[in-house]
Amino acid sequence: MRYFGRAALCCTFFNCTASYAGIMLNDIDVQTYRDFAENLGNYNAGAMNVPVYKKEGSLSDYLRFPVPDFGGVSSSGYATLVSPSYVLSVKHNTGYKTVEFGNGAGYATAYRLINRNDLSTQDFHAPRLDKVVTEAAPYSYVSKADFLSDYKSRYAWYTRAGTGTQEQINDEQTKRVRLTGAYNWKSGGTISAANVRDISNNSYLRYYNLGPDDADTTPLSIGANAGDSGSPVFAWDDIGQQWKLVAVHVGYDADSGLYRKRAVAGYIPGDFVASVEAANTSPDVVDRAGNGTVLWNDDAIKQDGVSWSWSGLTSAYASVAPAKASTSELDATKDLRFNGDGGLITLSTPINMGAGKLQFSSDYTLTSASGVNAT
């Protein structure tokens, strides 16, 4: 994670330093934080009022919210799925080229970044992936303007998960003990809503890791640390009754020692994310019942004199897997939705959508034109 010194708070120059680790409470077992982040044990997605126990077996508190489904957080913690083929993270993390989901599950798919889609005005990006993610469901997100308009009343709970360097306060509460370096395993926990309300500003969501005796502490209180850049902050929407992505970690701007290390997370530039997706989406095909067969040709999709464009891989990839295409070739392909009345679509040529997502919003039957062997 990045350190935002005082000068960095009033200009655009940021210092990058080695920071200390993800900070867990001294009286809660590390395995509890790990289980929460991976939805294991008692922490199944959607479970309500789950008890949190201290190391010695006594009750610490209950999680008075539905446990989030963290399946859409990448296995390495620094990217979050918000659309079937897009993740959100920070642009200063230039090292990663792929993302996986499933927390190290065997035979997990590696999804390749084909366009980082860096935002010039913020430490943020919305990478496009080379194919649709099938192991996890995307999260809804809240744009910066919408979040700032009512975050002090609408969101009662905050949580996070990540794979940054892991540390825990020792039993004597005198120091932070390093457990492992970054990207080895996930931990997750809760963030104080009171903190978020009191110390966030129009630029960043901010919060402290808090000790067990702090008036604002929460069960499974946790901080964010080195290697957690890009990891998500989720908020429970009391109106929508669901968890939503509201920010991604970018660094920290204060560290008072044992507790009260102040994490900094950037809000979601919703207009930018929407513009990235729109640029990679073809206009809907709006076919009409009674207008005959929809003909899908190499250059266009047509029905009864009406034509729609589509963007896939060239005919050179007619019988070749999209994975063989270059990143630029894949990024030139676009999502496509058939959003009409439904019916018969006849393919006059083999179709390879590349990285493009194909969606049918009605009942369609696809067939190959005679003698073409189109699939």
**Residue 168 gets which letter from DSSP?**
E
Q: Which of 76, 92, 221, 287 is catalytic?
A: 92
CA distance 81 to 136: 8
Q: Which helix H or strand E contains 111, and what residues bound it?
A: strand 111-115
CA distance 23 to 343: 57
Q: Which of 229, 255, 331, 335 is catalytic?
A: 229
Q: Which helix H or strand E contains 186, and what residues bound it?
A: none
CA distance 21 to 175: 12
**Residue 28 gets which letter from DSSP?**
S
Q: Which of 75, 76, 89, 123 is catalytic?
A: 123
CA distance 194 to 249: 18
Contact partners, residue 276, CB within 8 Å, separation at least 6: 86, 117, 126, 128
CA distance 323 to 317: 10
Phi-psi region of 193 (alpha: psi -120 to 50; beta: other; left: phi over 0): alpha
Asked about 125 being catalytic, the answer comes back as: no
Asked about 58 being catalytic, the answer comes back as: no
Asked about 253 being catalytic, the answer comes back as: no
Tokens of 340: 């009409």
CA distance 61 to 237: 21
DSSP string, 133-159: --SSPPPPB-BHHHHHHHHHHHEEEEE
Task: Report the DSSP beta bridge partners of residue 176.
Answer: 169
Whether 247 contacts 143, CB under 8 Å: no
CA distance 363 to 149: 41
Which active-site residues does the annotation give?
92, 123, 229
